[in-house]
Amino acid sequence: MMFKVETADLALTAGARRVLDFLELTKPRVVLMILVTAFVGYYLGTDFDESLWRLVETLFARSR
């Protein structure tokens, strides 16, 4: 079985192409799944009510 994958050839300006390239490099779907996994692990491992602010700091990578 052979799969054929084609890409769309879009006529974009250089600025728009650069923005799309940077967006692809950040891999937003992978990052979202990492954040969801961290949230679930933190929720299961702590008393959620008392450490809500620490969870927010963890998800946004803010250190003290």
The answer to the question of residue 4 being in a domain is no
Q: Cα(45)–Cα(25) distance, rounded to whole angstroms?
A: 32
Structure pTM? 0.59
Tens of pLDDT, residue by residue over 35-46, are 899 889 888 888
- Does 18 reside within a domain? no
* pLDDT tens-digit map of 6-29: 666 667 788 888 888 888 898 888
Quote the pLDDT of residue 37: 93
Contact 59, 38 (CB under 8 A): yes
Domain count, the chain: 1
Q: Which residue range forms the structural domain that includes residue 34? A: 27-64
pLDDT for position 39: 87
- The contacts of residue 20 (CB under 8 Å, 6+ apart) are 12
In single-letter form, the type of residue at position 56 comes to V
**Measured between alpha carbons, how far is residue 43 from residues 15, 34, 64 in Å?**
41, 14, 21
| Residue 60 belongs to some domain of the structure | yes
